[in-house]
Structure 1
Amino acid sequence: MSVIKPALEHPNLITHLLGANNYCWIYYRNGDKKLLAKPISYLQDELPGFIRTHKSVLINPIYARTLTAPPRQKMAGEIQLESGLTFPVSRRRWNEVAGALDHRLAPDGDKVSSAVSFVASPAKATPSESVSQKTILLITDDLPCLSPVARVIARGWPQYQLQTFEQSNHLPDHLASVSAEELPTVILLDARTTTVERLQTLQRLKGNPYLCRLPVILFVAPTDTLVSDGYKRQANSVISLQDDHLTFVQTIERVCRFWLQTASLPTLTKQVLTNP
């Protein structure tokens, strides 16, 4: 008997789906998840009310909380769910996603969530709107790990918001343009698979007098060369890991425990950062 139909029997209970080659993870509101041997494109056809925000991300719109426009041209936007989990919105899908969310209709049947606070605007946020709670910035293309990492952060450090991106080459320019209050508390830079781009980003961050004091934790594949390359580019910590989701999530929890609870961090102000 196929497991596809039972898994999709109550779509209102599904928050999002993450594709991984010819497989797809289904995430439910109660925290459960299921792995199906079907590509995300197949499940998109089976869930016509869901919105494809990225080649590997399918969102249930009833759980959308905010939609943030790309901060600059050629950059991805971002969608945040009511759980606090964020996902990229690819440039070529932006207009489609924004239009779908702006004109969405309430689903038939029982409502799972009442009064979701939803924002969809192509305009840039005003300074007062852009200042938010403290953030942890995670750069990774390991999308299946995003949901468990978000739960770890929400459980252990609810005062922090997790922000995620797949690509990092835009980060130095973007972070250099924001106020000190908007900078992340710590940057988790996953270079286990996307190595060259991450190392270049690290070097640019540490070479910028406005950003160099930000703690950057670099995750690399377990080779001596990559560890040396990370420290050569002034990573605050370099952690070598196998490509394993569970170990990655557990390591992030330990990293956050040290940097958010034990380590002493500088008070970052624009004056201090621009005049080191």
Structure 2
Amino acid sequence: MSCILDSIRQPLQIVYLQGASNYTWIHYRDGQKLLLSKPLLYFETALPNFLRVHKTALVNPRYIQDVTAPPRRKMPGHIHLTNGITLPVGRRRWHPLLQDIHQAVQLSDEGRTTFYTHPATRAESTQPVARQRLYVAMANEIKAGLVRQLIEDHWPEWGIHVFNSGSGLLKTLAASEETSLPGMILLDAGPQPARSLSVLETIKNAGKLKRIPTLLMAESDHGDLVEQGYAVGANSVILHPTHPSHFVQALERVCRYWLRMVSAPRFAGCLN
């Protein structure tokens, strides 16, 4: 038993665990792996902050890099780890997994301190308040889920609409009346920054859209997008870390400024 306990004494060194009948492989971040005579259920109890993504896999959320949604109903999705490993996600676990990832990245290394700061009291008046719209174009489903949860938890006065592509965003904007335009747009550069820059330029060259504050977000290794983004009219270009928890921290600071301190144009649509 001491050997088993020693193997999980430092959870931060474990990337994922893989069950095989009554045995479990532990995969460490240095590439080593260890086979133990305990079922995966034992480690699910012993490592409560790990996520069960499949009946045969338990994952440390710190090492989740991306997810791929199920291509069709009754088919599994996939989760991609920072060490290059891809694991299946059971179709019944898909939606609970996205929520679990969001909850996991709110925890610090000690597992108890939230990354978020609590906003000021939201409802000081019982009068109904018109809600501004925030449009988000973001293909990465984990990041999009984190954005949605952050806005709904901390800025409920903003109604959020997430698009998985810039083309979908442009199509909706083109069909919108001026009174139903968003108060702000958050555009993620994603894996195709040239296309995102084109979307941004289209927005800023359109008469009814150019006054909408539009923010371009990119991962920190895309520093060349800063000048390019401002050149085509971005109101702000934000470089953020790739790790989900650090992304949440950066996003909260951005939203605290743009959604609370800056006054969005009032011509833009509101939800009553």
| Class of the TM-score when normalised by the shorter of the 2 chains | 0.5 to 0.7
Tell me how far apart the structure 1 counterparts of residues 265 and 145 of structure 2 sit (CA, whole Å): 29
Give 1:169's aligned residue: 167
Counterpart Cα distance in 2 of 1:249 and 1:19: 17
Deviations 1:126-152 (A, max 9, x none): xxxxxx943222211221123332232
Q: 2:251 aligns to what?
A: 252
Could you tell me whether the CA contact under 8 Å between 2:163 and 2:169 is conserved in 1? no
Report the counterpart of residue 19 of structure 1 in structure 2: 67
Letter in 2 for 1:136: L
Q: Could you say which residue in structure 1 is the equivalent of 2:34?
A: none
Q: Distance in 1 between the 2:223 and 2:79 partners?
A: 33
Tell me the equivalent position of 2:240.
241
Deviations 1:75-110 (CA, angstroms, capped at 9, x unpaired): xxxxxx9xxxxxxxxxxxxxxxxxxxxxxxxxxxxx
Look up the equivalent residue of 2:87 and give its one-letter code: K
Q: Map of 1:215-226 to 2, 5 A cutoff?
A: 215-222=213-220, 223-226=222-225
Q: Is the 8 A contact 2:186 2:214 kept in 1?
A: yes
| TM-score of the aligned structures, taking structure 2 as reference length | 0.53
Q: 4+ residue runs of structure 1 moved beyond 4 angstroms?
A: 3-9
1:192–1:243 Cα contact (<8 Å) kept? no
Superposition RMSD in Å = 3.4
Contact 2:181/2:268, CA 8 A, preserved across alignment: no
The one of 68, 80, 87 equivalent to 1:38 is: 87
For structure 1, the 5+ residue unaligned runs are 10-17, 26-35, 51-57, 61-80, 82-131, 271-276
**Contact 1:169–1:197 at 8 Å: present in 2 too?**
no
Q: Which residues of 2 match residues 130-169 of structure 1 at below 5 A?
A: 133-169=131-167
Deviation at 1:37, TM superposition (A): 6.8
8 A Cα contact 2:138 2:188, kept in partner: yes
1:191 Cα deviation from its structure 2 partner: 0.5
Q: Is the 8 A contact 2:182 2:268 kept in 1?
A: no
TM alignment of 1:1-276, pairs within 5 A: 1-3=39-41, 7=52, 19-20=67-68, 22-23=78-79, 38-40=87-89, 43-44=90-91, 47=92, 58-59=94-95, 133-222=131-220, 223-268=222-267
Q: 1:268 to 1:150 in 2, by over 3 A?
A: same
| TM, length-normalised to structure 1 | 0.52
Deviation at 1:188, TM superposition (A): 0.9
For this pair of structures, how many residues does the alignment match? Answer: 169
Which whole-Å CA distance do the structure 2 matches of 1:8 and 1:247 have between them? 22
Q: Cα offset for 1:22?
A: 4.4
- Residues 259 and 8 of structure 1: CA distance in aligned 2, closer, same or farther (over 3 Å): closer
The whole-number CA distance in structure 1 between the counterparts of 2:145 and 2:169 is: 22
- CA contact under 8 A between 2:140 and 2:190: conserved in structure 1? no
- Partners in 2 of 1:237 and 1:185 — Cα distance? 15
Equivalent-residue separation in structure 1 for 2:178 and 2:188 (angstroms): 23
Q: Is the 8 A contact 1:220 1:241 kept in 2?
A: yes
Q: CA deviation at 1:198?
A: 0.6
Tell me which amino acid in the other structure corresponds to 1:198.
S
Map Cα deviations across residues 40-96 of structure 1 (whole Å, 9 max, x no partner): 3xx12xx3xx8xxxxxxx458xxxxxxxxxxxxxxxxxxxx9xxxxxxxxxxxxxxx
Where does structure 2 lack aligned partners over 5 or more consecutive residues?
A: 1-38, 46-51, 55-65, 69-76, 100-129
Contact 1:217 1:235 in 2 (8 A): yes
Counterpart of 1:74?
Answer: none
Give yes or no for contact 1:169–1:198 (8 Å, CA) kept in 2. no
1: distance between equivalents of 2:148 and 2:214?
19
8 and 198 in structure 1: CA distance in 2 versus 1, 3 angstrom threshold: closer
Q: What is the rounded CA distance, in whole Å, between the counterparts of 1:24 and 1:266 in structure 2? A: 40
Q: Answer yes or no: is the 8 Å Cα contact 1:140–1:166 preserved in 2.
A: yes
Is the deviation greater in 202-211 or in 183-192? 183-192
